[in-house]
Structure 1
Amino acid sequence: MAGPQCCANPPNLNPGSGVGHVEELGGLKTYVNGSSQSKLGVLLVSDIFGYEAPNLRKLADKIAAVGFYVAVPDFFYGDPYEPNPEKPFQAWLKDHGADKGFDDAKPVIQDLKSKGITAIGAVGFCWGAKVVVQLAKVEFINAAVLCHPSFVTPDDIKVVEVPIAVLGAEIDHSSPPALVKQFEEILSAKPEVDAFVKIFPKVSHGWTVRYNIEDTEAVRCADEAHQNLLEWFVKYVK
């Protein structure tokens, strides 16, 4: 499910943000950071606002700083969502479905492996969570994290094969706590899949990447989620 919260708090896109650089991976422009000697990779799949969002790149840099090679592809081919009365969100979404994102992610993963990366984690934000849950198979990645997912269904969760963390928001109409709890119940019935499910109180959909950097509490909540996903990847991407 997607709604107004998916489009709220749009970032000011900045192609020059971050301390990494842009190169091509799997046919997509991709922001990358991290040691080329690392054998461990993390793929970030953005929300609808795309790979130039400064907070997203800041998180990529944070993940790279602990030893991962991080890739943030431009799954929207230079066309991230922008409020436009002539092209409403649903019309934009028809051109940028998560199934296409899933197909585009596979050659990116192949390119990461061709660099010598032997273990890969993936984290998806909002729109990107649907892509990552489809990647959550042993042939693609080693671990997954979903942050305030959109479009993810219980049926998606049922077929997950790798360790997965779901970070939900208390104030979320796309994946309300009741749905996240349903995900937790499904995962609890799959003892072969390690899982971590957490609902963050008093935060809204998008809080991990679309926070106000001048709001101390918002930054603290985002940092807590970032720490959780980092701990997940340190544990399972090795």
Structure 2
Amino acid sequence: MTTFNSEKAAALHRELHSHLPSDPALRVKTLESLAVEKGLVAPESLDAWVETYSEHIGPKRGAQVVARSWLDPAFRARLLENAAEAITAFGFQGDATAHLKAVENSDTQHHLVVCTLCSCYPFSVLGMSPAWYKSAEYRARAVREPRKVLEEFGVILPRDVGVRVWDSTAELRYLVIPQRPAGTEGWTEPQLAALVTRNAMIGTQRVLQAETA
């Protein structure tokens, strides 16, 4: 007589699902397969778009801008005065950065970016926005209790460091310029850019470490 062992069945279930991608990934894969099957898009085009957003339109673009501002005082001044115009030197201009403002962290000031209305984001220089940036919790709490939100990201600010929250809109989006890490004197622009993270350019990370390069 066959017996049913619930523990073995549960273990088998977990084992099978451990090899499957997440639900969002499955949905994306299904849509991709259908689009290719119906001749709406070529697989090579999809691969090119993925590479473009992950390698070029992603945070690596913003990192280049930040690194240039650390090395070139004249560019830094232009960036702080008119970021949308300054980034044209890289060819990064676009609809999402037509009205871009750069704000600079200092020893006494930290900047945090949020979009309380929806999820406006300068994807031309930061890539696609992270899921938490679009969440209702982050959008509400970043304005109401920014220090607590920053603490949850591991950013513990001394009381003498002020926090300014910038609310992005469809007309105006923000890029945080983090402080240059100590010990990077003489580094090249690509070396410096490798240190800059997406979270630092949103403001949910403050300290960048030179040894991570």
Bigger helix fraction: 2
